[in-house]
Chains A and B, each alone.
Chain A
Amino acid sequence: MFGRTLIRKNLWILVVILSGGLFCLSHYKVGSTQENFLDWEGTRVLHPFNDTSDASSDQQIIELQGDNGMPLWFARHFFKDVCISGKCKMIRLWLFWDGAGNYLGFQVPDNEPLTKSDHTIFEPQDYQKLDKILKDRSSILKNLKQEDLVIIPDSIKNPYELDGYTAATQPALAEVVVKDAVYSCHTIWHTVYGPTQQEIFRLLDERIDAVFLTQMLDSNKPEKIIWAIETVKQHPEYHETFYPRILSFIKSEDEIMAEKALDYFRKKVLKDEQIQKQLVDEMPFFSTSANVELIWRLIENGGVSEEIFRQLLLFVNEGKLQVTSLNLVYQLYQPEFLENKETETLLNNFLNGDDAYVRTLTQKVLKTK
């Protein structure tokens, strides 16, 4: 697939002026990713970056900005060595991060493809695999040092894994690296998630203000919205302005974004009864799993007011909240809630309703609490 989409096209010098600086990009083909990032339109802004740990690579980060000054991507040109037991070879490539600093892609020069330990060049599917590896921010490569990358004996065929969690052991490595290019994969992965990315995060942090956050939240781009949510979490001074917006993202069909948005509402934030109420009012529009997660948070938060409890019961009664989460709702029950007539009536309805599960559960909760 990659082969077909490979754009054999040279990219010529693009000139950007920032503080009088000039730089160029030359002769690069799209190494792996299906997009040619260097083709994107926008204004290129140069950020000097004095990286003492990687002096042979460009000492600058380029940012591509859209019309409104929003970052579209960040890029840096690398020229660095990959070493195996003292023997080194140089690799040359561009790495790209999206407008929120997440890995986006890479491009290698037409005439300097990546090579493997047997000196053969990367095939399209190798580039694709490399791209997949680089997308995985918690890759097994993360905690491995160069010296850990030895090939394992045949006697141990299977990866060790704890029930559900992969552990970083040699056998698992074969599956996650490009065959015969383990050192390149390791070096590039650590380059993607190394000092350059930290610098990009710093550049983004420098720009944090209400306008920039609004732009990020308005961007329609999940990665930017998630960045903004995380940023507001770390900067409580923006909480009041932005939490209603964040709350609205829980309704998103993008599961990860919805999860991140819900994740914002924890601990101190969730102590605010007003916020609890706003969240509960929106539950009919949330996914079933978000609702379940929210009720758990309310339980772990130490409970809710009678009014909120009643609202939850009402939603169950109206079929707006899954009947199967009633047992969790009942974990929020307090006997004094019965003093409210409406709550009492609702519970009585449940006791006499059609659904036997609801009846049984309600009987039990009223008896035991």
Chain B
Amino acid sequence: MKYTFLLAFVFCTFLLSAQKNSVLVEAESFSEKGGWVVDQQFMDLMGSSYLMAHGMGVPVADAKATVSVPSVGEYKVFVRTFNWTSPWYKGEGPGQFRIIINGNPVGDVLGNSGSVWIWQSAGKVNIPNNKVTLSLHDLTGFNGRVDAIYLTKGEEIPPSDLAELTSFRKKLLDMPEKPKDAGEFDLVVIGGGMAGIGAAISGARLGIKVALIQDRPVLGGNNSSEVRVHLGGRAMVEPNPALGKIVNEIGPTKGGNAQPAAYYEDDKKMSMVLAEENITLFASCRAFAVKMEGSRITQVIAKNIETSEELAFSAPLFADCTGDGTIGYLAGADFAMGREGRNEYGEPSAPEVADDLTMGASVQWYSVEGENASVFPEFEYGVDFNEENSQQVTMGEWTWETGMNYDQISEFERIRDYGLLVVYSNWSFLKNHSSEKAKYQNRKLDWVAYVAGKRESRRLMGDLILREQDLTDYVVYPDGSAPTSWTIDLHYPDPENTKYFPGSEFKSIAVHKKVHLYPIPYRCFYSRNVDNLFMAGRNISVTHVALGTVRVMRTTGMMGEVVGMAASIAAEHNTNPRGVYEYYLGELKSLIDTGVGKYDMGNVQKYNMGSTLGPRK
């Protein structure tokens, strides 16, 4: 197995540019991160991954880097940062930090003003040597963030416009015009959640060369220890019981949302992928562009989230397992987002009129009981909690769901931040003001996710769009493949929460409709207008209502298995995903019948398989 570890600590470099009088340092490339975390979730929105002081109210250790400047002398210092509570609170925000240069604090407190990502001035500093040490010193533990630091002897402030900023970065960081060639593959899978891992392993086991691109250092997506959602639904069940063997081999053996990290068995998923000779894993790389020839993708371009290095992946086949359908979107694939109106597909559960509502995203969290009393800072930044509206709980899992009425892609940073905001604000109320505060005296926040778990955004349209009636009336198609078993489980703002937080709810309810074990048609797994694009995961070709059942991760993992199988057939016959349906469906079905399991084992995941099934009509 070739494991291309493109992580900053392996490269041991940081990104800086010494162009005449200026130096640009990307924070995420700092060699020592201290307690700061790399956040890449919004790089398509604000231009870069960044470092964030995610200390849950306790300041984190400094991040450090040593950089060279072109000449000694006096430099102006600018830091690109974001006062993240600004959408809700107009005063000074909590994400406060300072920059320390050569051991001395420079300028004022940063991160606490403005309302968009801005270059904040940190004053001037005299640099006596060519080597300078930079430190980011967190002051609050409340998610201060730093994208980049700019030291200049000139007068100019770096650009704020995203396009200009991108070329500015490229120039100052001396990045090559063209991305580095990452190689030629039979299949490039983008997104390393359960769907992506399933697709990669399945394809690899069937003999094709696969690149797996994942924008985090760990695999698993929502099922990783970073998001902590347990697998749901049934695998290895009728009518295609050989599907799901990979899910059973790689998935966690213990259930539960928002549980300790070990529950999610990241190491198993990673080692299973690394064990496949035919997979090359590109962890910490985020795909952000595609190259097209007509309606075919020829290359996907990804950027390392720490080093900013760009890589180009070539293949005849691509699989979009990003959840957001990002690759399809970049390639111009037809997609839908929001809820279809009832007329569109005649679905009984669809609203009368189409709208933009989606299911929301979750920042899950939990606290632990300590031996002694612990303090939590006052945290009031625009969402007020009181005896009546506070949540008297010690953890928050799936019901803590936000942003249903916001755009899950273009407003995602706001959505994630609102998730953090309500967790901290509520906790601060419980610890400091609640009449029940004695109960919380010894409790402290032990884990709050900063990678938000998403449920829904774009759905890429395939040759067949699965609808509610297909599921409830058991309309089985000849290309039925991965069985879906979860209820049609759609989420809405919790009316109780709406009472106190109208329009900015952070709790949800679920409404369920049972389905029978239903084999999802293979035609939902490839784009109808991008010739060589497969998809697996929550971004497949379904209506909003049908997404309600297919989105659980044992099911998305099985979709991946099917896509890997189809890709191996397409590679062998030199055809595209549609060609597999039109000419080689028999071959696909026989692979579905056999499965791609490696280990002979029984079901080791007996949790969260869902409630009883609906009737088979």
Q: Which of A92-100, A153-161, A180-188, A305-313 interfaces with chain B?
A: A153-161
In angstroms, Cα B511 to Cα A162, docked, is 8
Which B residues from 370 to 403 make CB contacts under 8 A with A?
398-399
Asked if A360 and B510 make an inter-chain contact with CB atoms under 8 angstroms apart, the answer reads no
Q: Is B432 an interface residue (CB 8 A)?
A: no
Asked if B509 and A287 make an inter-chain contact with CB atoms under 8 angstroms apart, the answer reads no
Which A residues from 318 to 369 make CB contacts under 8 A with B?
322-325, 327-328, 330-331, 355-357, 359-361, 364
- Chain A interface size, as a band, is 20 to 34
B601 contact set on A, CB distance < 8 A: 288, 322, 324
Asked if A158 and B275 make an inter-chain contact with CB atoms under 8 angstroms apart, the answer reads no
Asked if A364 and B271 make an inter-chain contact with CB atoms under 8 angstroms apart, the answer reads yes
Q: Is B262 an interface residue (CB 8 A)?
A: yes
Q: Is B102 an interface residue (CB 8 A)?
A: no
Q: Is B498 an interface residue (CB 8 A)?
A: no
Asked if A325 and B510 make an inter-chain contact with CB atoms under 8 angstroms apart, the answer reads no
A327 contact set on B, CB distance < 8 A: 265, 267-268, 271
B610 contact set on A, CB distance < 8 A: 164
Q: Closest approach, in angstroms, between the C-beta of B453 and any C-beta of chain A?
A: 12
Q: Is B277 an interface residue (CB 8 A)?
A: yes
Asked if A364 and B604 make an inter-chain contact with CB atoms under 8 angstroms apart, the answer reads no
A161 contact set on B, CB distance < 8 A: 487, 489, 510-512, 611
Q: Is B603 an interface residue (CB 8 A)?
A: yes
Partner of A289, one of B267, B274, B276, B603: B603
Asked if A324 and B510 make an inter-chain contact with CB atoms under 8 angstroms apart, the answer reads no
Q: Closest approach, in angstroms, between the C-beta of A149 and any C-beta of chain B?
A: 21
Which B residues from 486 to 544 make CB contacts under 8 A with A?
487, 489, 509-513
Partner of B267, one of A164, A292, A361: A361
A355 contact set on B, CB distance < 8 A: 275
Asked if B510 and A162 make an inter-chain contact with CB atoms under 8 angstroms apart, the answer reads yes
Partner of B253, one of A160, A162, A166, A296: A296
A361 contact set on B, CB distance < 8 A: 267-268, 271
Q: Is B12 an interface residue (CB 8 A)?
A: no
* Nearest B-chain residue to A165, judged by Cβ: B611
B271 contact set on A, CB distance < 8 A: 327, 357, 360-361, 364
- The binding surface of chain B is classed by DSSP as loop
Q: Closest approach, in angstroms, between the C-beta of A270 and any C-beta of chain B?
A: 16
Q: Is A163 an interface residue (CB 8 A)?
A: yes
In angstroms, Cα B615 to Cα A14, docked, is 44
Name which of B277, B349, B599 has the most chain A CB atoms within 10 A of its CB. B599
B262 contact set on A, CB distance < 8 A: 299, 331
A357 contact set on B, CB distance < 8 A: 271-272, 275
Q: Closest approach, in angstroms, between the C-beta of A355 and any C-beta of chain B?
A: 7
In angstroms, Cα B275 to Cα A162, docked, is 37
Asked if A163 and B275 make an inter-chain contact with CB atoms under 8 angstroms apart, the answer reads no
Partner of B602, one of A159, A287, A296, A330: A287
In angstroms, Cα B380 to Cα A205, docked, is 55
Q: Closest approach, in angstroms, between the C-beta of A280 and any C-beta of chain B?
A: 17
Asked if B276 and A324 make an inter-chain contact with CB atoms under 8 angstroms apart, the answer reads no
Asked if A364 and B267 make an inter-chain contact with CB atoms under 8 angstroms apart, the answer reads yes
A164 contact set on B, CB distance < 8 A: 232, 608, 610-611
Asked if A163 and B511 make an inter-chain contact with CB atoms under 8 angstroms apart, the answer reads no
In angstroms, Cα B398 to Cα A162, docked, is 9
In angstroms, Cα B360 to Cα A163, docked, is 14
Q: Closest approach, in angstroms, between the C-beta of B343 and any C-beta of chain A?
A: 19
In angstroms, Cα B512 to Cα A158, docked, is 6
Q: Closest approach, in angstroms, between the C-beta of A241 and any C-beta of chain B?
A: 31
A331 contact set on B, CB distance < 8 A: 262
Asked if B599 and A324 make an inter-chain contact with CB atoms under 8 angstroms apart, the answer reads yes
Q: Closest approach, in angstroms, between the C-beta of B223 and any C-beta of chain A?
A: 14
Which B residues from 238 to 292 make CB contacts under 8 A with A?
249, 253-254, 257, 262, 265, 267-268, 271-272, 274-277
B603 contact set on A, CB distance < 8 A: 288-289
Which A residues from 279 to 305 make CB contacts under 8 A with B?
287-289, 292-293, 296, 299
In angstroms, Cα B276 to Cα A159, docked, is 43
Q: Is B606 an interface residue (CB 8 A)?
A: yes
Q: Closest approach, in angstroms, between the C-beta of B200 and any C-beta of chain A?
A: 14
Q: Closest approach, in angstroms, between the C-beta of B526 and any C-beta of chain A?
A: 29
Asked if A289 and B268 make an inter-chain contact with CB atoms under 8 angstroms apart, the answer reads no
B272 contact set on A, CB distance < 8 A: 357
Q: Is B1 an interface residue (CB 8 A)?
A: yes
B140-167 vs A, CB cutoff 8 Å, 1 = contact: the mask equals 0000000000000000000000000000
* Nearest B-chain residue to A164, judged by Cβ: B608
A359 contact set on B, CB distance < 8 A: 275
Given A161-B489, A359-B275, answer yes or no on A288-B604 (Cβ-Cβ < 8 Å).
Answer: yes
Q: Closest approach, in angstroms, between the C-beta of B262 and any C-beta of chain A?
A: 7
B274 contact set on A, CB distance < 8 A: 356, 360
Given A324-B268, A361-B267, A364-B271, answer yes or no on A163-B489 (Cβ-Cβ < 8 Å).
Answer: yes
B265 contact set on A, CB distance < 8 A: 327-328
Q: Closest approach, in angstroms, between the C-beta of B361 and any C-beta of chain A?
A: 14
* Nearest B-chain residue to A259, judged by Cβ: B606
Asked if B275 and A324 make an inter-chain contact with CB atoms under 8 angstroms apart, the answer reads no
- Give the 6 A-B CB pairs with smallest separation, nearest first: A356-B275, A357-B275, A161-B512, A327-B268, A360-B271, A361-B271
**Selected A-B contacts with CB under 8 Å, 8 pairs:** A163-B489, A166-B611, A296-B253, A322-B601, A357-B271, A359-B275, A360-B274, A361-B267
Q: State the A residues within 8 Å of B (CB).
A: 158-164, 166, 287-289, 292-293, 296, 299, 322-325, 327-328, 330-331, 355-357, 359-361, 364
